Amino acid sequence: MVDPQTVTFGITLVLIATPLFHLAVVFQKLGLMQSEEIKFDKGIKGILLTFKEIAKNKWWLLGTIFGIIAWPMYLMSIGLVGFMVSEPINSIGIILLVIVANRYLKEKIAWYELLAILLLAISPILIAAAGISKVVVDLYAMVFPLIIFLAISGSITIYCFMLSVKTRGTRSEGLYIMLVGSLLLAIGGVFTNILAQAIIQANIKFTWYFWVEIFFGIFWGDYPHLWVFLSWWLMSITNLSSIAFYQSAFQKERVAIAFPIFDSIGLSIPILAGIFVFQQTFNNYFLFFIGIALILIGTLTLGRFQTEFQSLDYNQWKLYREKIKKKSKDNEKNPEAN
């Protein structure tokens, strides 16, 4: 059993990280509204050039800094009290996100959207109460189910990307782009879990060549080091790829709608992988499946009403973004007018 001092310190860290994470999303949204739209038809070079310009925006940069500061505290909290304690506490920050989005981004939240958001906020707490078991990942037995999992999740991700292309210029585009970013980040979370286990099984110590052993683990020659190498690079690729998609979704969609979907998928997919790929179990499956059901209901509810918004004039949203962008430029040219 973990001692009270460790538990207190771990929970304190995540309580500090949580508002930073969620304020980072709001600040990045403010910056993205004032920046050039992220488009995928110009390839990777076009995306990188767009982000080069976006990085010059003070709000987006401030949000990014907040996220960078929060990550080490969050990861340390997971190390001290575990994912199933840290993540439910972190999910409570969605309440702050909705309040700030309503106050500063002027995003109106309907009652049914609040209900869906509430379901998404409650679900991680139920999953945590279900009591996930602590099992060491069998790096040999997981290979076949991992391949099946990647085939299914990868196919869904590609399908969502195709839908985002098909619905370009409509209100649904942001939803599908968010789904792509969320799924990529969730897959990255699965590889993060494998990496943590592989590091332990490879008996990698925190020495001066620690990162070298992770980056080039394949050259160590044994099976655990092979998975250290594979999981590190696959985690990096999926996580970095997800950034362009969910940042683009934050441009196109209300953050109070996009973020709950982003957060719930990022939580549920790795947990499902834990059950079916890594053979982890729960002490109370009833609470677990109730939590998963709430995630599905909340996500589908937001998606359903998002589809109905297609009837709205999408050009009004573009004009609003242009108005915000123009106002920002005018303020920079004539600060005394403020």
Q: With a cut of 50, say whether residue 307 has pLDDT above it.
A: no
Cβ proximity of 255 and 97 under 8 Å = yes
Residue 147 has a pLDDT of 95
**Sequential DSSP letters for 229-255:** HHHHHHHHHHHHHHHHHHHHHHHHS-H
Residue with tokens 């499902």: 272
Residue 313: band (very low, low, confident or very high) from pLDDT cuts 50, 70, 90: very low
pLDDT higher than threshold 80 for residue 123: no
What residues make up the domain containing 309? Answer: 4-337
- Is 325 a residue whose pLDDT tops 60? no
Which of 57-71, 197-211, 250-264, 295-309 shows the highest mean pLDDT? 57-71
Distance (Å, whole) CA 174 – CA 195: 31
Does pLDDT of 142 surpass 60? yes
Q: Is the pLDDT of residue 188 over 70?
A: yes
Q: Which of 36-40, 119-123, 317-321 has the lowest mean pLDDT?
A: 317-321
Residue count of the chain: 338
The predicted structure's pLDDT at residue 159: 95
7, with CB counted inside 10 A (0-12, 13-18, 19+), is: middle
Rounded to the nearest 10 degrees, what angle do helices 255-276 and 94-104 cross at?
160
Give the separation between CA 34 and CA 27, rounded to whole angstroms. 11
Asked whether the beta carbons of 173 and 41 are under 8 A apart, the reply is no
- In sign, the C-alpha dihedral spanning 119, 124, 129, 135 is positive
Which tokens go with 122? 């409650």
Identify the residue with better confidence: 209 or 290.
290
Q: What percent of the chain has pLDDT over 70?
A: 70
Q: Taking residues 97-101, what's their average pLDDT?
A: 65
Higher pLDDT, 57 or 136: 57
Most confident option among 25-29, 152-156, 196-200: 152-156
Mention every residue, 6+ apart, whose C-beta is less than 8 A from residue 182. 242, 246, 261, 262, 265, 266
pLDDT tens digits, 272-288: 787 788 877 777 888 87
Structure tokens at 87: 């993540």
CB 224 within 8 A of CB 198: yes
Confirm if 249 and 178 have CB atoms less than 8 A apart. Answer: yes
Angle at which helices 223-252 and 255-276 cross, to 10°: 160
- What confidence score (pLDDT) does residue 183 get? 92
Instruction: Place 230 in a pLDDT band, splitting at 50, 70 and 90.
Output: very high
Collapse the DSSP code of 62 into the 3-class scheme (helix H, G, I; strand E, B; otherwise coil) and give the result: helix
Phi then psi dihedrals of residue 92, to 5 deg: -65, -25
- What does the pLDDT read at residue 262? 74
Number of domains in the chain: 1
Q: Is 262 helix (H, G, I), strand (E, B) or coil?
A: helix
How confident is the model over 256-260, as a mean pLDDT?
A: 65
**pLDDT of residue 238 exceeding 80:** yes
- Is 40 a residue whose pLDDT tops 60? yes
Q: How confident is the model at residue 143 (pLDDT cuts 50, 70, 90)?
A: very high
pLDDT mean across residues, the chain: 75
pTM over 0.75: no
* Residue 102 binned pLDDT confidence (cut-offs 50, 70, 90): low
Cα-to-chain-centroid distance, residue 41? 23
CB 112 within 8 A of CB 104: no
253/326 Cα distance (integer angstroms): 19
* Burial (Cβ within 10 Å: 0-12, 13-18, ≥19) of residue 34: buried
> Who wins on pLDDT, 150 or 251?
150
